[in-house]
Amino acid sequence: MTETLAEATPGLTRGDDGLLRCAWGTSAPDYVAYHDEEWGRPVHGETALYERFTLEAFQSGLSWLTILRKREGFRAAFAGFDAEQVARFSEADVERLLLDASIVRNRKKIEVAISNARAVLELRESVEGGLDGLVWSFAPPAKPAPRPGEVPATTPESKALAKALKAHGFRFVGPTTAYAAMQACGLVDDHVMGCHVRS
């Protein structure tokens, strides 16, 4: 009996629709949509990038599925990720958000989201292209599709991006978080070899 590609290649899973995906991309309907329509596709613009980096910071220590399912709650709580509005949040806003069950209620992460919004505004003055210009300056050259098991957790570029963001006042952006954001925002395409999105 001949093995299917999914059976022969750990790291790939065939979905109910018959399409091969990165193994993580079929474990829940939310993941299927995110995997197929967003992850690894280029994201530009201050608001969109600020949202992705904020959500990556909130995800630390949690399942990404938890964040995806609360995404609309985060958007409402953080003024659509408008950095100018979030930068004006006060201690009263922090207390309000700590009571908001539609988001992850973690004081440190909420405070980081606010301070990072202020850093986003400062980038407008100090870096050409602001947050978008800074982040995308660390995009590596395109590479062939990785094989399952070859997707890294960090890269030299993610370490350099994390260092640059920290130098500009960002918090909660270590090399692993930075690389996850690079994957999410399409700076790298880590859909593995055989994944229908990659092909």
Q: Which of 31, 50, 51, 56 is catalytic?
A: 56
Stretch (H or E) spanning 12: strand 12-14
| Residue 64 a catalytic site member | yes
| Residue 34 a catalytic site member | yes
| Residue 56 a catalytic site member | yes
Q: Which of 64, 84, 111, 122 is catalytic?
A: 64
Give the Å distances, CA to CA, from 186 to 18, 93, 128, 140, 199.
25, 32, 20, 11, 15
Q: Please give, one letter per residue, the 3-state secondary structure of 58-69.
A: HHCCCCHHHHHH
For residue 60, count other CB atoms closer than 10 A to its CB.
17
Q: DSSP alpha helices (H): ranges in 78-197?
A: 83-87, 91-98, 107-126, 130-136, 156-167, 175-184
Q: Which of 31, 34, 39, 179 is catalytic?
A: 34
Determine the Cα–Cα distance for residues 158 and 152; give it in Å rounded to an integer.
Answer: 10
Positions marked catalytic: 34, 56, 64
